[in-house]
Structure formats: C-alpha cells, structure tokens
Amino acid sequence: MCKNKMTDELDDIKIVESTNKFNAEDYEGFRSRIAKVSKKQVIDYFPDKVTTDSEGSPVISNPYDPNSTEMKWVIEIETKPLPVVTVKDGITIPVTPEKLVEIPLKDGSVKNITVTHQFGLQEINNNGNTEVVISKNPKAKLWAFMRAKGVNKVSELKDMLVTLTAKPSKKEGDNRKYLKIVV
C-alpha cells in the first residue's frame, strides 16, 4: 500500500525542546532598579461609560472594551534588563550582573527582558483646558508608590529598587506566569 505524500510530511515534523528556558518564578522577590520613567499616551481599554439608572441618575462604569480608541496618559516605569539567575535554597542569585537574559527573535536578533508598569494619571478640565495631574486620592497608585519610595517628583523614581513577582495569567487555561512590579 502506498502512503500519501502529505502524511509522510506530517510524520516527519520533529518535536524539539523549547529553546527559551526562561522561568518567571525564578524572579519571585528579585529586586531590580528602575531604568526608565516616562510619560506616554496609551489606549484606554477601560473607558468611562456613563449610563442612567431607573431613576434617571447618571451611573459611571468602566467595562473592558477591546475596540476602544480612547487615549489616556500614564507614567510608565521600566526596570533594567534582567540578569540570568540561579535559585539556591529558595534564594535568587544573579549568575553575573553582566550576563543578561536574552530571548531570540525570529529575525535572528535578541531581546533583553525588562518589566514595566503603568500608573494612570488624572485628567482634569481647567477652564476648557485639559490638565494631566498626579492624583492624591487614596485609590491612586502612583502617589502611594511615590510616597513608599520617598520621592516628591516622578523623575526621582529612576534608579530606585523595585521588587518583582510572578503572577499567573488571567486567561482561562493559560498556565504561564508573568513578571510584575510589586506596587
């Protein structure tokens, strides 16, 4: 009996180990310095949606909208590239500070891993002009983060130490973990 050429090609596909051996859990509790602090405008996937209740009063909600085109201002902090680490007795130790984690890209280049976090800024309307400010509201994370770091200006966050943590993906059925900055 003659085998189909397509079946032969499918059966010849090799199964190989992953070339990327990066494990986010190895960086649990790791301390890294902030390399960059920037103000940028990003898409707001949780825009304010104003509706009215049964009594006609306005109700503001923030549902997720993947098609949103509304923009918002944020402060983004980014860590220095992460070094290759080993874990001994539950303690994360950099192999050498100069040896960085490198992820190979399809074009043959490599990318270093950094961790970013975005803090929302408040936009207030001041006589028809929109002004971007740092809110001191107890729910405002940027002001609380700045107080915890003992700084008064956003630019002073550069070179401060932050702690990293590995958080599981929020997608159902996804068992990956992602690095986040503890805020």
**pTM of this prediction?**
0.78
SS3 assignment for the chain: CCCCHHHHHHHCCCCCCCCCCCCHHHHCCCEEEEEEEEEEEEECCCCCEEEECCCCCEEEECCCCCCCCCEEEEEEEEECCCECEEEECCEEEECCCCCECEEECCCCCEEECCCEEEEECEEEEECCEEEEECCCCCCCHHHHHHHHHCCCCHHHHCCCEEEEEEEECCCCCCCCEEEEECC
d(Cα 78, Cα 152) in Å, to the nearest integer? 19
pLDDT at site 13: 86
pLDDT at site 6: 61
In DSSP terms, 40 is beta-bridged to 74
d(Cα 42, Cα 102) in Å, to the nearest integer? 27
Q: Which of 25, 31, 69, 26 is nearest to 47 (CA)?
A: 69
Segment 145-163, tens digit of pLDDT: 999 999 999 999 999 999 9
pLDDT at site 20: 63
pLDDT at site 5: 59
Q: Which amino acid is at 11?
A: D
pLDDT at site 172: 86
Which residues of the chain are under the pLDDT cut of 70? 1-8, 17-20
d(Cα 73, Cα 142) in Å, to the nearest integer? 12
Segment 59-88, tens digit of pLDDT: 778 888 888 888 999 999 999 999 988 877
